[in-house]
C-alpha cells in the first residue's frame, strides 16, 4: 500500500472509531432506553473542548493568543478520561431540564434550542473558548515516541480502536445484563416500568450521563487527532447524522449501529469525494446534506427498524441466544422510540 493510501485508510479508521463510540453512546440513550437526545452533539463537543484544553497547558503558553478556561498538561490517556468526566458533569443539569418530563417532540425542540444556544455562547464567549476562532495547536498524544508521521498515523488508529473497545465493553455490558432489559422496558412503557418498581427518572438520568461521558471520550479522541476545535463544527446538524446512522444501521443493537456508522458518516463522506466538481466548490457538501435528509426519510418510511433490526432475545437453559429477527409490530408506532 502506498503511503498516500495508508494515510487515507488510517484517517478512515480513526473516524470510524470516533464515530462508533459516539453512535453506540447515542444508541444506548435512544435506541435502548428511548431518550430523545437531540442535543447529543453538545457532549461530544464539550469532550473535544476538554480534550484540547487538558493538553494545551495554560493559556499563556504558545504566546498566549488563545483564551480558554481550565488547562493542564494531562498525560495520555488521562486527558481523554477527564474529558469524558467533564462531559458527564455537563450532562447533569441538561438532563434534568431536557429529559424527564417533556413529551417526545417537545423534548427534541428544547434540546435543539439548547444545542444552538451552546454554539452561540461558544462563539460569543471569547474568554472561555476563544470565540469563533476556536482552539488550535492541540498536541498529538505520544507523538514524541514515534519518528515517522505514517508510523504515528497507525499508532493513533490503534489508540482510537482501544477507546472504541472500551466503549464496546461498557455498552455491551449494560445492554446484555438485566440492566439492559430494564432500560428497554423504560423505552417500551415508562408507566409500566414505574409500576414494577423501576425508578425511571433516575435510570434515564444515569444513561444520559453515561452516554454523555462516552460522547465526551469520542470528542476528545477526535480533537487530539485533528489538532483543532471550533464551535462551528459542532452544529446541531451533526446530531442528525448520528441519528441517521442509527436509523439506517439498526436501532437498539450495536452491530446495527456499527453498520450505520460505516454507511452514513463514513461512506457518505467518502462518496462525495468522488462527485464531479459541479457548481461551486463545496456544493458537494450541500448536496451531501440533502442526500442525508432524503436517506433518513426513505428509511423512516420504508425500513424504520434499520438494516439490522434489534433481535429477539430468547433463553435456552439460562444463556441468552439471539435467534430470529424481530418482526415489525403494526400496533405500536412505526420505527423509533415509543412514546406518548
Partner 1 sequence: MTASPLQGELDDNVVQRRSTLRAEEQGEAMTTSSEILQVEALGCSFGGIFAVQDASFVVKSEGITGLIGPNGAGKSTIISLVAGSTRPDSGSVRFAGEDITGLKAHQIARKGLVRTFQKSNLFARMTVLENLLVGVTSMKGDSYVDALLGRWRWQQAEAKLVDDARELLVRFKMDRYEDTYAGELSGGEKRMVELMRAMMAQPKMLILDEPMAGVNPTRAREIGGHLRELADEGLAILVVEHEMVFIEQVCNRVIVMAQGSVLAEGTMAELRRNREVIDAYLS
Partner 2 sequence: MQVAITIFAFGILTAALLSIGAVGFTLQFGVTNVLNLAFGALMTSAIFILYETQRAHIPLWIGVALAAVWGSLSSLVLSVGLINPFVRRGTSLFSMAVVTVAAGLIIEFSLEAIQGPQILGFSTQTPEVGFLGIVMSELQLEIIGLAVILMVAIHVGLRYTRLGLKMRATAADAALARSCGVSARKVRLVAWAVSGALCGIGGALIGLTVGSFNSTTGNEFFIILVAAAIIGGVGQPYGAMIGALVIGMVSEGAAYLVSPAYNYIIAFGVLIVVLLFRPQGLFAEYSSGRTLTQ
By CB under 8 A, which span of 4-12, 112-120, 158-166, 192-200 interacts with partner 2? 112-120
Residue of 190, 178, 211, 23 whose CA lies nearest to 100 = 190
Find the Cα–Cα–Cα–Cα dihedral 12, 31, 109, 41, rounded to 10°. -30
By CB under 8 A, which span of 65-73, 177-185, 309-317, 330-338 interacts with partner 2? 330-338
For the bound state, the minimum distance from the C-beta of residue 204 to partner 1, rounded and expressed in Å, comes to 12
Question: Which string of x and - marks every residue 301-330 that binds partner 1 (by CB under 8 A)?
Answer: ---------x-xxxx-xxx---x--xx-x-
Angle between helices 149-176 and 254-261 (to 10 degrees): 150
Binding partner of residue 62 among partner 2, partner 1, none, CB cut-off 5 to 8 Å per kind: none
Q: Which of residues 230-249 bind partner 2 (CB under 8 A)?
A: 237, 240, 243
124 binds partner 2 (CB under 8 A): yes
Q: Which helix (H) or strand (E) holds 37?
A: none
CB 129 within 8 A of CB 135: yes
Cell 438532563 locates to 95
116 binds partner 2 (CB under 8 A): yes
Cell 446495527 locates to 256
197 binds partner 1 (CB under 8 A): yes
CB 18 within 8 A of CB 225: yes
192 binds partner 2 (CB under 8 A): no
C-alpha cell at 57: 497547558
340 binds partner 1 (CB under 8 A): no
Q: Classify residue 135 by its DSSP letter.
A: B
CB 263 within 8 A of CB 292: no
C-alpha cell at 128: 472561555
By CB under 8 A, which span of 82-90, 174-182, 207-215, 274-282 interacts with partner 2? 274-282
Q: How far is 40 from 254, CA to CA, in rounded Å?
A: 18
176 binds partner 1 (CB under 8 A): yes
336 binds partner 2 (CB under 8 A): yes
195 binds partner 1 (CB under 8 A): yes
Residue of 239, 241, 260 whose CA lies nearest to 305 = 260
Interface with partner 2 by CB under 8 A: which residues? 36, 38, 97, 101-110, 112-113, 116-117, 120-121, 123-124, 237, 240, 243, 279-280, 282-283, 286-290, 292-294, 296-297, 300-301, 304, 332-340
Interface with partner 1 by CB under 8 A: which residues? 169-170, 173-174, 176-182, 184-185, 188-189, 191-200, 206, 210, 310, 312-315, 317-319, 323, 326-327, 329, 331-332, 338
Amino acid at each position: 500500500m502506498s503511503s498516500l493510501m495508508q494515510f487515507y485508510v488510517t484517517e478512515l479508521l480513526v473516524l470510524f472509531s470516533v464515530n462508533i463510540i459516539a453512535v453506540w453512546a447515542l444508541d444506548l440513550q435512544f435506541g435502548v432506553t428511548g431518550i430523545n437526545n437531540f442535543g447529543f452533539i453538545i457532549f461530544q463537543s464539550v469532550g473535544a473542548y476538554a480534550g484540547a484544553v487538558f493538553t494545551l497547558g495554560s493559556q499563556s503558553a504558545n504566546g498566549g493568543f488563545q483564551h480558554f478556561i481550565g488547562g493542564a498538561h494531562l498525560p495520555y490517556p488521562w486527558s481523554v478520561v477527564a474529558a469524558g468526566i467533564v462531559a458527564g458533569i455537563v450532562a447533569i443539569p441538561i438532563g434534568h431540564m431536557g429529559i424527564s418530563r417533556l413529551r417526545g417532540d417537545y423534548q427534541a425542540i428544547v434540546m435543539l434550542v439548547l444545542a444552538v444556544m451552546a454554539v452561540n455562547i461558544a462563539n460569543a464567549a471569547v474568554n472561555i473558548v476563544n470565540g469563533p476562532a476556536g482552539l488550535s495547536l492541540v498536541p498529538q498524544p505520544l507523538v514524541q515516541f514515534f519518528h515517522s508521521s505514517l508510523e504515528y498515523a497507525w499508532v493513533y488508529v490503534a489508540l482510537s480502536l482501544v477507546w472504541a473497545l472500551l466503549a464496546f465493553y461498557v455498552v455491551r455490558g449494560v445492554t446484555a445484563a438485566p440492566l439492559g432489559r430494564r432500560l428497554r422496558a423504560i423505552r417500551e412503557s415508562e408507566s409500566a416500568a414505574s409500576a414494577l418498581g423501576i425508578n425511571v427518572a433516575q435510570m434515564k438520568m444515569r444513561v444520559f450521563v453515561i452516554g454523555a461521558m462516552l460522547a465526551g471520550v469520542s470528542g476528545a479522541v477526535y480533537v487530539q487527532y485533528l489538532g483543532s476545535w471550533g464551535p462551528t463544527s459542532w452544529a446541531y446538524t451533526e446530531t442528525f447524522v448520528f441519528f441517521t446512522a442509527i436509523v439506517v444501521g439498526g436501532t437498539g443493537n450495536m452491530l446495527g449501529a456499527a453498520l450505520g456508522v460505516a454507511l452514513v458518516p463514513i461512506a457518505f463522506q467518502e462518496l462525495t469525494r468522488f462527485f464531479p466538481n459541479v457548481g461551486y466548490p463545496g456544493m458537494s457538501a450541500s448536496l451531501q446534506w440533502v442526500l442525508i435528509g432524503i436517506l433518513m426519510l426513505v428509511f423512516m418510511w420504508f425500513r424504520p427498524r434499520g438494516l439490522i433490526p434489534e433481535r429477539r432475545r430468547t433463553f435456552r437453559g439460562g444463556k441468552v441466544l439471539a435467534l430470529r429477527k424481530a418482526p415489525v409490530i403494526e400496533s405500536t408506532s412505526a420505527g423509533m422510540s415509543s412514546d406518548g
